[in-house]
Amino acid sequence: MKVAVVGATGLVGGEILKVLAERNFPVSELIPVASERSIGKKVSFKGKDYEVVGYDTAIAMKPNVAIFSAGGGTSLAIAPKFAEAGITVVDNSSAWRMDPTKKLVVPEINASTLTPEDKIIANPNCSTIQMVVVMNPLHKKYKIKRVVVSTYQSVTGTGKAAVDQLFNERAGKTEYDKVYPHKIDLNVLPHIDVFLDNGYTKEEMKMVNETKKIMMDDSIQVTATTVRIPTIGGHSESVNIEFENDFDLDEVRSLLAQEEGIIVQDDPKNFLYPMPITAHGKDEVFVGRIRRDETQANTLNLWIVADNLRKGAATNAVQIAEYLAKHHLI
């Protein structure tokens, strides 16, 4: 199977290459793709170097699937050209997520809705993915009414320049490129993406809108506060969920533990709970601190952690491609 990775020289693009190799995706030919300034650069895949090509060259090479991680503007401009050539695109940007004509897919939840006609498939926002993976089995059992989520998101979500800013600050440098409007080291920024007219950020509204679309249920009410913190291992979330029906805590733990892709780490007596430092480099979503909200009926508190470059981006995209290949949709 011919596989193009668009944005192959970026942070997520590199992770996609790693995940394709680790999961033994059946790549017969790899086509690394990037913008003009990166053409001719080399990327490594399974011990072999591949030369980066431009968009037109990649389309002419007719890959079966193109996994995009090249930013929203590039996706809007270039993904339709791939799709018109009969190439299935799995896009990591926000460009197509809320387009009513495009599927927004987390494989554990709604991959079964995909058809051969879906030529541009959207990969959800990283913070949304890890939350809905945990929410889905609970929604089926108890029916979710309302979710209150606060996130603690890694600088890797902003890209390599943000990671550089953190470590430049940590090293005491005074001259460096600033990605954030304030210092990030030893600080917390309640600000991810741009502020909107309603006072929320774009990232917060992504979580609100994408959750309803992925879960295929507009009745689920979500309110979010998204926060950037100086970590690199993954995103963490404090999630408060109100259900229509009551639940048993042991049953909640059992339901989550049975789900593929979820690991329950919930033993506070032995200081076992999810953390970015232990989720780093892993594909699963980790959940712990499972307890009742004692102020309100039928309400649960959870702590959810996942590597945002893996399940939050690269792994989810590759899992979509795996589903397409397995069901002969590409």
328: annotated active-site residue: no
**DSSP at 67:** E
Known catalytic residue at 126: yes
**Is 12 labelled as part of a ligand binding site?**
yes
Q: Is 143 left (phi over 0), alpha (psi -120 to 50) or beta?
A: left
Alpha-carbon separation of residue 99 from 103, 210, 312 (angstroms)? 8, 11, 20
Q: Which CA distances in Å does 143 have to 218, 242, 251, 316?
A: 12, 9, 15, 25
Both tokens of residue 285? 């979503």
Tell me if 231 is assigned to a ligand binding site.
Answer: no
Contact 211, 147 (CB under 8 A): yes
Residue 258 among known ligand-binding residues: no
* Amino acid type, 266: D
Cβ atoms 142, 220 nearer than 8 A: no
Provide the β-strand partners of residue 301.
Answer: 240, 291
Check the annotation: does 11 bind a ligand: yes
Phi, psi of 324 (to 5 degrees): -60, -45
Residue 38 assigned ligand-binding role: yes
> 209: annotated binding-site residue?
no
Please state the φ and ψ torsions of residue 24, each to the nearest 5 degrees: 50, 45
**Per annotation, catalytic residue among 235, 280, 327, 328:** 235
Was 40 annotated as part of a binding site? no
Give 256-263's long-range contacts (Cβ < 8 A, gap of 24+).
Answer: 256/134, 256/137, 256/138, 256/287, 256/290, 258/137, 259/108, 259/133, 259/136, 259/137, 260/108, 261/108, 261/133, 261/285, 261/311, 262/133, 262/134, 262/286, 262/287, 263/287
228 is in an annotated binding site: yes
- Catalytic residue from among 126, 182, 191, 327: 126
Residues forming the annotated binding site? 9-12, 37-38, 97, 153, 228, 308
Catalytic site residues? 126, 235
